[in-house]
Amino acid sequence: MLKRQNPSTPEHSRDLAAHGGALSMSHNDSRSFFNLSQLVLSAGQIKPSPALKHSKITYFEVEIVDVQSKKQICIVDKVSPASTLLDVKHKFHKACPQWYPSRVGLQLERNGPFLKDSISIQSLAVSSIVTLYFTDLGQQVGWTTFFLTEYTGPLLIYLLFYIRLSTIYGQVEGRKNFRHPVVHLACFCHCLHYIRHLLETLFVHKFSEGHTPLKNMIKGCAFYWGFTSWIAYYINHPRYTPPSFGHKQVSYAALAFLMCEAGNHFINVALAHQTNSGNRSCFPSPTYNPFTWLFLLVSCPNYTYEAGSWISFTVMTQTLPVGIFAFLMVIQMSLWAQKKHKLYLKRFYPEVRRKAAMIPIIF
């Protein structure tokens, strides 16, 4: 007969000890997890980590004072440090609707220059209160409107004289059909000049400050429109006499005029490209285009070409009104060129110091 095994054998004891140890360990783990859970529940919900406190923003108060009477007009409050002067002008306009932003001129000192709209308030602030002096700049117009009005007038006025209206020259004079070829050529060149200006105003030039006083546009229009009427009246007059040296004088002068017009256009395109690309750290350099090589001699070649256009037009038509207009334009552009040349000397001294302002070789 087979004997029944004794459960108290050493092997069986070892098995029970092993299983019992495992059970005791499992029981201890469960008890530890239960104790940990009870501890968490008794402690309450787990608190989130405290959020970082943002630094308190310091706002400025801008006091607007009339430059003449020194009386306070208003206070623009809660101006953030990142705000620009243009933002202050918009808030000032809300408080005083009669002065829109383009009409407001603000100065840090009574006799100081007008501040640009892009200046931040933080750069002007010495304390939490910033005092600015207000000047009414008068009615303003945009630069695009300014130039379109100034250049459209001469284009239309010249064509009115070119068709010889009977109200201008009389019925008898206006019926004369014969015209010297230079009259037609002068009309073409004059229209080309102002059409180029209009197209460049729309598609090439970028204007930094957006407005100018209306009185400046009235002055510019009076100058250009008045001289155009005087010039067109003489050139399109039925009794106009052609230039002294005939066809050669007209041809060479017309060729010089067209070259100056092309040069002026390419210089303006080069300057606009430099502005749009943001590369203002160096003086504009000549490109493969021969018309831009004038940058090697002068700092303002666009004014050089503009003066050359009107001098060529004077030689081509040989009329006194054109000569006077060209003389005044050369003086005005030389003043503009010298002013811009001084700015170039401050910014690009090593590159500009050997150049002339407008006329080559004359320093």
Domain annotation covers residue 22: no
Asked if the model's pLDDT at residue 303 lies above 90, the reply is yes
- Looking at the domain assignment, is residue 4 inside a domain? no
Higher pLDDT, 53 or 208: 208
356 in Cβ contact with 362 (< 8 Å): yes
Residues 6 or more apart whose CB falls under 8 angstroms from that of 210 comprise 102, 142, 143
Cα–Cα distance between 124 and 80 in angstroms, integer? 13
Nearest to 301 by CA among 347, 357, 352: 357
Q: pLDDT tens for residues 245-266?
A: 999 999 999 999 999 999 999 9
| 228, pLDDT greater than 90 | yes
Position 266 scores a pLDDT of 96
Quick check: 126 and 103 in contact, CB under 8 A?
no
Q: Are residues 208 and 252 in the same domain?
A: no
pLDDT band at 135 (very low <50, low <70, confident <90, very high): very high
Taking residues 110-131, what's their average pLDDT? Answer: 89
Task: Report helix, strand or coil for 85.
Answer: helix
Mean pLDDT score across all residues of the chain:
84
Does residue 191 share a domain with residue 120? no
Q: How far apart are CA 69 and CA 71, in angstroms?
A: 5
Q: Is residue 161 part of a domain?
A: yes
Task: State which H helix or E strand residue 131 sits in.
Answer: strand 129-136
Which comes out higher in pLDDT, residue 170 or 221? 221
Question: What is the reported pLDDT for 41?
Answer: 47
Q: Determine the average pLDDT of the residues in 176-191.
A: 91
Q: Are residues 100 and 132 in the same domain?
A: yes
Q: Are residues 232 and 277 in the same domain?
A: no
- The answer to whether residue 38 is domain-embedded is no
pLDDT at 337 over 90: yes
Asked, for residue 164, whether it belongs to a domain, the answer is: yes
Q: Which residues of 67-76 are buried (b: 16+ CB within 10 A; e: fewer)?
A: beeeeeeeeb
Any idea what the CATH number is for the domain that residue 78 is in?
A: 3.10.20.90
Query: Where is the domain boundary, 203, 226, 241?
Result: 241
Looking at 210, 241, 272, the residue that finishes a domain is 241
Q: Name the phi and psi angles at 212, rounded to 5.
A: -145, 155
Backbone angles phi, psi at 91, to 5 degrees: -65, -35
In a shared domain, residues 219 and 161: yes
Inside any domain, residue 189: yes
Instruction: Please name the residue ranges forming H helices in 67-180.
Output: 85-95, 121-124, 143-162, 166-169, 171-174
Q: Please report whether residue 278 resides in a domain.
A: yes
Q: Are residues 125 and 186 in the same domain?
A: no
Query: Does residue 130 sit in the same domain as residue 143?
Result: no
Q: Which residues of 262-287 are buried (b: 16+ CB within 10 A; e: fewer)?
A: ebbbbbbbbbeeeeeeeeeeebbeee
- Tell me whether strands 60-66 and 129-136 are parallel, antiparallel or unpaired: parallel
- Average pLDDT of the segment spanning 328-332: 97
Q: What angle do CA 209, 157, 145 make, to 5 degrees?
A: 15
**Tally of structural domains, the chain:** 3
**Domain span holding position 116:** 60-137
Sheet strands (E) in 169-261: 211-213
Whether 64 shows a pLDDT value over 90: the answer reads yes
For residue 28, what pLDDT band results from cuts at 50, 70 and 90?
Answer: low
Q: Is the pLDDT of residue 4 over 60?
A: no
